Structure 1
Amino acid sequence: MKTEPTPYGLLAEFHSAEALIDACESARAAGYRRLEAFSPFPLEELDAPLGLIDRRVQAFAIVGGVLGAACGFGLQVYANLDYPLNIGARPLIALPAFMVITFLLAVLFACLATVLGLFMLCRLPRLHHPLFDASAFAGASDDRFLLCLLADDVHFHLADTRAWLAERAESVTEVWQ
């Protein structure tokens, strides 16, 4: 059963980083919220117009660290209470001695949770993306600056958005899913 292709968005090509930044700011001001920008080098000026203020990866790290510390400490307490050895009148739960393993497991779990959370939030591994079929996207890692307005945006209308982008970009390409 063959399904009819649906639009993924419109891909606009720009000649410079400044033109891409201006287009992103204009798109945000025009009400577009679902947009992606691609450039051959990082552009910090794009963080605000693209809405890249996301702290979910930090939450993964904090939860992983707390869980690791609890597991490390709990494992040592369980082992000492299950098999008590009273040597030299030391306490069964010796906090200073437990801190090394507790800290190491907190760091290990935080690192693992951060990497796994980042992969999950980026939806990796992604073997195919609709933008890979666009011929203009091949230059995104070389010398092209691209802006993609996604079709699932509230303000997206294929003809109107194409006309709006054509005023600002060198070329506009339709991307289909």
Structure 2
Amino acid sequence: MHLETAPPPPAAAALTVLELPMDDPRVRPLLDELAVEYDSRYGDLFGRGSAAAELSKYPAAEFQAPAGALLIIQENGESVAGGAFRRYDAQTAEFKRIWTHSAHRRRGLARRVLAELELLAAARGYRSVYLTTGPRQPEARHLYLNTGYTPRFDLEADPETIGPLAFTKELAG
């Protein structure tokens, strides 16, 4: 009797974390999809096209070393997740644009982005993080609550009545 064995599962693709400038072409696919997502979730609240204004609200230089950074995670050469930080104050980094491409969600990539941003922010001398997410992004709210961020709003209130949902976190020394 001959038993066939199933082939071994394919090796997990290597993830590469890159620090890039905002204008690097590897960043664009994530920002483009983020703009579509913002418009689809918030268009009736802020008006169509407001995503582009939000994404260009800060100069790209604010997300460059030494005070800031923009990280992306690539898998097999494809940008699958990313995030950035800028100086909020002398001790605090503000995290922005934490995003996982829609085809790559539910794999822990956003958690990885957060962890990488936290490590880099701490290495650059920041002691804490401040961030906000929109009231129509329950996935982000859940992520921050489950990764040690402290909400700076009433968790029982209707998020639509709050506006941006602010969170903070102390970084490990």
Mark yes or no: TM-score above 0.5: no
Q: With structure 2 as the length reference, what TM-score do the two structures score?
A: 0.22
Quick check: which one's helix share is greater? 1
Q: With structure 1 as the length reference, what TM-score do the two structures score?
A: 0.21
Quick check: which one's strand share is greater? 2
Largest Rg, 1 or 2? 1
